[in-house]
Amino acid sequence: MAFRDNYDFGILVNEAERLVEEELGRRLEELGDPGICVCEDCILDMAAFALNSLKPLYRVSLLGTMYAHAAMD
């Protein structure tokens, strides 16, 4: 049995992903620029680019979420 079969790594969440998704959506809506491609490939590329420039904010619990929010403030 593989190591990861013993644990639920699915509850490990990078809170930075949620923050990037929200901010990306907000910025694109504000800009409303028809010159920016919003196909899935381009949006995911933008999100990956942003995430690679940010410090990850992993959490495994509600307390972790609160800590991540406080750190972003």
Among residues 8 and 29, whose Cβ is nearest to Zn ion?
A: 29
Smallest distance from the beta carbon of 37 to Zn ion, in angstroms? 3
DSSP string, 2-48: -GGGGS-GGG-EEHHHHHHHHHHHHHHHHH--TTS--SHHHHHHHHH
Is residue 53 classed as helix, strand or coil in its secondary structure? coil
Distance of closest approach, residue 62 Cβ to Zn ion, in angstroms: 36
Helix (H) or strand (E) run with residue 68 in it: helix 62-72
Q: Which residues bind Zn ion (CB under 5 A)?
A: 37, 39, 42
Closest to Zn ion by CB, 19 or 46: 46
- CB-wise, 42 or 66, nearer to Zn ion? 42
